[in-house]
């Protein structure tokens, strides 16, 4: 848009400038010509004054009264005097022919003169002693004409040059004037990507209020997120401790007294627990918010692995591949949740080996988590993701982790698919689109 505007502005300035300059030169030339005509008129009168009636009554031309230029050959000033008896030509014409203007007054065009001169001609009719005398004078116009032609050509060349130079200077000024804005824009982008937590306040005075406002907004968003997360955590705490009490009591006392009721209670409490966990994890997702903490798999995942090794009390071979210290543009807490749940499942079910593979390209980040455990039969894979269905009563909440991971992937506009791993167990494939 700006470029198109600049080009059209440049073009109209160019055309207008050229038109005005050419018109001005044309007008100046006309003025000049007018003055020359005035001079020619005076010249004609001068030539007439050089005519003197002789003793015989015939007119003679007194050369000494003429302007010296009329005597120098091809001087550029010429005359022809016609009387019924005689015709006088100025000596300056030498032997070149000159056709005087046809009608009295200023010749409409330029006359061809000697030595390739172009002449401005003027013709006047007088009556001297009852005799018609026609005086034609001409003056070389070519120097004037050439001068104007040169001026016109120079205008054609210099005006675009001047304009181009001005445009460059303007561009430079604009660029310099807008550079703080560009810097601020780059910083806002970094802010969005989580590469920085605030804009630098050290900017030109005009931008300072804007930068301060953006920083305040960013802080506000951050606080809002923190607040809602804490509120969720508190709610979780408030619900889960009573659930734990209920469940333990149920296991301790009810199991012997009333096995049916125990089964019912246990089942219901477990369902409530699962619902609370899933709802909380959904509410916690920060996808789309500003990512102040970005996820760095090689820094963050070893901690997850350490936690899992302690929790499951088993040492498995864990391989991670496909990364070179990249930081991914996703919220750290969300990714910890995603990978924590996926790897937790893998740790529960793997026999001896877990592989985590990253496949990064420009558009998306694909993560594949594989284990060598029993896997999930193809027919049940969909239901696992849909409802967080528990597949095995012995190991708590098998499907829930996958369902939570699925929710997270969806929140990031990604997908989560289950498949059979070449290692023998389950392969979970998560694709997350990278923000452009």
Partner 1 sequence: MRILLVEDSVALADQLVPLLKEHGYAVDWLADGRDAVVRVHDDPFDLVVLDLGLPGMDGLQVLKQWRQEGLSIPVLILTARDSWSERIEGLRQGADDYLTKPFHPDELLLRIQALLRRSHGNANDERLSAGMLKLDESRQTVWHGEEEIALTGAEFRMLRYFMHNPGRLLSKGQLASHLYDNESDRDSNVLEVHVNRLRRKLGKAVIETRRGQGYVYTGQLP
Binding partner 1 (rule: CB under 8 A), the pick from 143, 201, 242, 259 is 242
CB atoms within 10 A of CB 298: 13
Q: Kindly tell me which of 83 and 345 has the beta carbon lying closer to partner 1.
A: 345
Cβ(269)–Cβ(242) below 8 Å: no
Judged by CB under 8 A, how many residues of this single chain contact partner 1? 40
| Window contacting partner 1 (CB under 8 A); options: 28-36, 81-89, 246-254, 345-353 | 246-254
Q: Could you give the CA distance from residue 110 to residue 189 in angstroms, rounded to a whole number?
A: 71
Minimum CB distance to partner 1, residue 428 (Å): 16
Using an 8 Å Cβ cutoff, are 424 and 430 in contact? no
**Joined tokens for residue 255:** 């199991």
Shorter beta-carbon distance to partner 1: residue 80 or 269: 269
Contact between 300 and partner 1 per CB under 8 A: yes
Residue 406 interacts with partner 1 (CB under 8 A)?
no
296 binds partner 1 (CB under 8 A): no
Instruction: Rule CB under 8 A: choose which of 82, 326, 333, 419 binds partner 1.
Output: 333
Q: Does 407 bind partner 1 (CB under 8 A)?
A: no
C-alpha of 259 from chain center: 72
Could you say whether residue 225 binds partner 1 (CB under 8 A)? no
Q: Which of 95, 116, 260, 313 binds partner 1 (CB under 8 A)?
A: 313
The one among 201, 233, 288, 433 contacting partner 1 by CB under 8 A: 233
C-alpha span between 319 and 435 (Å, rounded): 27
Nearer to partner 1, 32 or 266 (CB): 266
- Asked if residue 289 binds partner 1 (CB under 8 A), the reply is no
Q: Does 73 bind partner 1 (CB under 8 A)?
A: no
What's the half-sphere exposure (Cβ side, CA atoms, 13 Å) at 93?
Answer: 20
Shorter beta-carbon distance to partner 1: residue 37 or 246:
246
Give the whole-angstrom CA distance, residue 136 versus residue 264.
Answer: 132
**For residue 152, how many other CB atoms are within 10 A of its CB?**
16
Going from the C-alpha of 386 to that of each of 1, 118, 399, 419, the distances in angstroms are 49, 99, 9, 15
Q: Minimal CA–CA distance to 119: which of 84, 91, 93, 89?
A: 93
Phi and psi dihedrals of 249, rounded to 5?
-60, -40
Closer to partner 1 by Cβ: residue 13 or 289: 289
Give the binding range for partner 1 (CB under 8 A) out of 92-100, 218-226, 238-246, 375-383. 238-246
The nearer residue to partner 1, 33 or 240, going by C-beta atoms, is 240
C-alpha–C-alpha distance, residues 423 and 429, integer Å: 14
Residue 434 near residue 363 (C-beta atoms within 8 A): yes
Greatest CA span in the chain, whole angstroms?
Answer: 168
**Interaxial angle between packed helices 259-284 and 208-249, expressed in degrees from 0 to 180 and rounded to the nearest 10:** 170
For position 348 contacting partner 1 by CB under 8 A, the verdict is: no
Q: Counting contacts by CB under 8 A, is residue 264 touching partner 1?
A: no
| CB of 92 or CB of 341, closer to partner 1 | 341
Residue tagged 């606080």 (tokens): 223
Among 248, 268, 321, 413, binds partner 1 (CB under 8 A): 248
Rounded Cα–Cα distance for residues 421 and 403 (Å): 19
Looking at the DSSP assignment, which residues form a beta bridge with residue 51?
61
Whichever of 149 and 248 has its CB closer to partner 1, that residue is 248
Interaction of residue 28 with partner 1, rule CB under 8 A: no
Smallest separation (angstroms) from partner 1 to the CB of 324 = 23
Residue 72 within binding range of partner 1, rule CB under 8 A: no
Q: Exposed, middle or buried, 93 (CB in 10 Å: 0-12/13-18/19+)? A: buried
305: contact with partner 1 by CB under 8 A:
no
Residue 251 binds partner 1, judged by CB under 8 A? yes
Among 63, 190, 223, 396, binds partner 1 (CB under 8 A): 396
CB of 286 to partner 1, least distance (A): 11
Cβ atoms within 10 Å of 29's Cβ, excluding its own? 17
243 in contact with partner 1 (CB under 8 A): yes
CA separation for the pair 45, 133 (Å, rounded)? 12
Options 13, 239, 296, 410; binder of partner 1; rule CB under 8 A: 239
Question: Interface with partner 1 includes 399 (CB under 8 A)?
Answer: no
Binding-site ranges for partner 1 (CB under 8 A):
233-234, 236-249, 251-252, 269, 273, 277, 280-281, 284, 300, 303-304, 306-307, 310-311, 313, 332-333, 336-337, 339-341, 396
């Amino acid at each position: 848009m700006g470029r198109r505007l600049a080009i059209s502005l440049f073009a109209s300035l160019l055309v207008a400038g050229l038109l005005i300059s050419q018109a001005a030169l044309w007008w100046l030339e006309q003025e000049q010509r007018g003055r020359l005509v005035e001079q020619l008129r005076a010249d004609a009168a001068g030539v007439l004054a050089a005519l003197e009636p002789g003793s015989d009554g015939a007119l003679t031309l007194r050369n000494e009264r003429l302007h010296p230029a009329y005597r120098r050959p091809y001087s550029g000033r010429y005359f022809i005097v016609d009387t019924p008896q005689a015709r006088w030509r100025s000596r300056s014409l030498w032997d070149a022919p000159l056709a005087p203007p046809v009608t009295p007054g200023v010749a409409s065009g330029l006359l061809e003169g000697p030595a390739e001169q172009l002449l401005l001609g003027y013709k006047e009719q007088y009556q001297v002693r009852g005799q018609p005398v026609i005086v034609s004078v001409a003056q070389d116009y070519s120097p004037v004409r050439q001068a104007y032609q040169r001026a016109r050509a120079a205008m054609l060349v210099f005006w675009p040059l001047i304009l181009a130079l001005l445009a460059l200077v303007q561009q430079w000024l604009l660029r310099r004037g807008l550079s703080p804005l560009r810097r601020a824009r780059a910083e806002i982008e970094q802010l969005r990507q989580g590469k920085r937590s605030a804009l630098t306040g050290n900017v030109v005075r005009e931008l300072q209020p804007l930068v301060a406002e953006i920083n305040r907004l960013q802080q506000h968003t951050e606080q809002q997120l923190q607040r809602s997360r804490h509120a969720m955590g508190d709610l979780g705490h408030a619900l889960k401790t009573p659930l734990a009490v209920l469940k333990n009591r149920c296991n301790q006392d009810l199991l012997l007294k009333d096995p049916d009721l125990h089964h019912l209670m246990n089942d219901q409490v477990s369902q409530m627990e699962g619902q609370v966990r899933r709802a909380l994890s959904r509410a916690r997702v920060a996808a789309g918010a500003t990512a102040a903490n970005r996820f760095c798999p090689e820094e963050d995942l070893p901690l997850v692995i350490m936690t899992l090794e302690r929790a499951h009390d088993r040492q498995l071979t864990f391989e991670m591949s496909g990364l070179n210290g990249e930081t991914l543009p996703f919220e750290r807490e969300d990714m910890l949740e995603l990978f924590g749940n996926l790897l937790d499942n893998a740790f529960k079910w793997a026999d001896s080996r877990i592989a985590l593979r990253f496949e990064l390209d420009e558009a998306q980040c694909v993560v594949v988590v594989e284990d060598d455990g029993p896997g999930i039969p193809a027919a049940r894979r969909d239901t696992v993701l849909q409802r967080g269905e528990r597949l095995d009563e012995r190991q708590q909440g098998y499907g829930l982790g996958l369902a939570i991971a699925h929710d997270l992937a969806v929140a990031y506009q990604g997908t989560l698919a289950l498949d059979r791993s070449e290692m023998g167990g389950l392969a979970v494939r998560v694709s997350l689109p990278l923000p452009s």
